[in-house]
Structure 1
Amino acid sequence: MTIRFVESSKLPTPWGMFTMHGFSDDGADKEHLVLTMGDVSNGEPVLARVHSECLTGDALFSMRCDCGPQLQAAMHKIALEGRGVIFYLRQEGRGIGLLNKIRAYHLQDCGADTVEANERLGFGADMRDYSILKPMLEHLNIKSLKLMTNNPRKVKALREMGITVAERISHQTGRNPHNARYLETKRGKLGHLFEEGDDSWTSQEPPDENESDV
């Protein structure tokens, strides 16, 4: 694995001014982004989101998942704190790629859940590789993360690589009738932690049986 820093630039957003850092993964022929705000290299734990690319959710406003709202909520929370980092990793569809994700969506349209669809295509439930984070963290001199995630497996994976996760912060948002089954599958099969009292988890009615899932 060869992760190479390329360049940084300013990125004005509705939530404030971020700095965008570009990294090239020459071995996998992929490009990754890191967004930072404030001084992230002072040694204090940094509010962080490790976000895997989701073209459908992040850019096309899909309601089949909660990815777009999670990305926007992370940018908002970092802006409120004035300091933080978002790792935007090009690992579409939990690592299976965009076209295979569309194939998985078709299987879900036919009744499979998100885990079953990946497995029917011959993939694991989650194919993402977080080892690419280490050189990015080292380049930015980030020592410790306050990680915004509902996924304890992500925390475990980072800690097993020697990355310090000082705190896991619940990051629930974006629940709607189209992704209710998807979120239930995340909790039931992938171990995601959802707090029942959170408004984003309880505010919507469950879908009928024919609603889509991702």
Structure 2
Amino acid sequence: MSSNLNLPAATVRTRVQVPLRFGDGFVAASELVTFEGLVDGREHVAVGLGSLAPGRVPLVRLHSECLTGDVLGSARCDCGPQLREAVERISERGGYLLYLRQEGRGIGLYQKLDAYALQDQGLDTYAANAALGLPEDARDYTAAAQMLAALGAERIDLLSNNPDKSRQLLTHGIDVREQVSTGVHATAHNLGYLLAKATLTHHSLDLASLV
């Protein structure tokens, strides 16, 4: 398929059927897709979910990996619940979850845990990164745009609360028809984290009833 992206083309490498199983018993059929030619050289994976009706725009989530939240069940963030929600919603509609290897908003696992230690001293998630001399958010979605183009998904609805994801995809030629908000997965442990995202980086999170 021809691409509107002003980027090197990526190609599909492998497609494998893998069921996804969550701790609450939810199971989703999925196809994991790997790629050749991604600009950052990382092993990002697309998760194909559901059945997309002809002519319908796919629902897509860009989900940055989070070992602590996705795998270990940490309540310090909302990543695990967002992943579970996204898989179910995309399965119902048809589309893709791009699982991006950008731990800690792109700073890596070790530095993310360094930032956690500073958060335990009272800094918010962004101030902790700054105190370490790191960007508030180092994620780059160029490879995500390449992945979508390789999948033939250059017009999408984006499941996200983060306006930067839409901006970056649009810059790279992906037509984001609509940004669809995720649910608010607030707990006593992550409320400060969510408030920082809403107030400092303008995530579309309705937290008014929780504060």
Kindly state the Cα deviation for residue 184 of structure 1 after the two structures are TM-superposed: 0.3
| Distance of aligned partners of 1:130 and 1:38 in 2 relative to their CA distance in 1, 3 Å threshold | same
Partner of 1:93: 104
Matched residue, 2:92 = 80
One-letter amino acid of the structure 2 residue matched with residue 12 of structure 1: P
* Partner of residue 19, structure 2: 12
More displaced stretch, 66-75 vs 41-50: 41-50
Counterpart CA distance in 2 for 1:163 and 1:27 is 16
Equivalences, count? 199
- In structure 2, list runs of 5 or more residues that go unmatched: 1-7, 21-25
TM-score by length of structure 1 reads 0.85
Question: Normalising to structure 2: TM-score of the pair?
Answer: 0.86
Deviation >6 Å, runs of 4+:
none
- The CA distance in 2 between the partners of 1:67 and 1:94, in whole Å, is 11
Aligned-partner Cα distance in 1 for 2:126–2:160: 19
1:192 aligns to 2:203 (yes or no):
yes
CA distance in 1, matches of 2:138, 2:9: 19
CA contact (8 A) 1:33 1:88 kept: yes
Partner of 1:137: 148
1:1-214 equivalences in 2 (<5 Å) = 5-13=12-20, 14-23=26-35, 28-38=40-50, 42-81=54-93, 83-196=94-207, 202=210
Q: Distance in 2 between matches of 1:117 and 1:2?
A: 36
| C-alpha spacing 1:165/1:26, structure 2 compared with 1 (3 Å) | closer
Residues 77, 41 of structure 1: CA spacing in aligned structure 2 closer, same or farther, 3 A cutoff?
A: closer
Q: Which AA in structure 1 matches 2:115?
A: A
- How far off its partner does 1:149 sit? 0.7
Partner of 1:88: helix, strand, or coil?
A: strand
Alignment check: 8 A CA contact 1:115 1:125 kept: yes
Query: Contact 1:24–1:31 (CA<8 Å) still a contact in 2?
Result: no
In the superposition, relative to structure 1, how do residues 27 and 21 fare at CA in structure 2: closer, same or farther (>3 Å)?
same
Q: Cα offset for 1:23?
A: 2.8
Q: Secondary structure at the match of 1:86?
A: strand
Greater Cα shift, 14-23 or 44-53: 14-23
- Segments of 5+ residues of structure 1 without an aligned counterpart are 207-214
User: Residue 41 of structure 1 contacts residue 140 of structure 1 at CA under 8 Å; is this kept in 2?
Assistant: no
Alpha-carbon contact 1:150-1:192 (below 8 Å) kept:
yes
Check whether the contact 2:50–2:91 (CA below 8 A) recurs between aligned residues.
no
Residue type matched to 2:197 in 1? K
Q: Tell me the SS of whatever aligns to 2:189.
A: coil
Given that 2:59 and 2:95 are in contact with CA atoms closer than 8 Å, whether structure 1 keeps it comes out as yes
For 1:93 and 1:2, the matched residues in 2 are separated by: 27
Query: Aligned to 1:50, what secondary structure does the other structure show?
Result: strand
Identical pairs, percent: 39
Output the CA distance in 1 between the equivalents of 2:200 and 2:207.
17
**How far 1:195 moved relative to its partner?**
2.5
Q: Is the 8 A contact 1:36 1:84 kept in 2?
A: yes
Pairwise CA RMSD of aligned residues? 2.1
Kept in 2, the 8 Å contact 1:43–1:142? The answer is no
Report the residue type matching 2:31 in the other structure. T
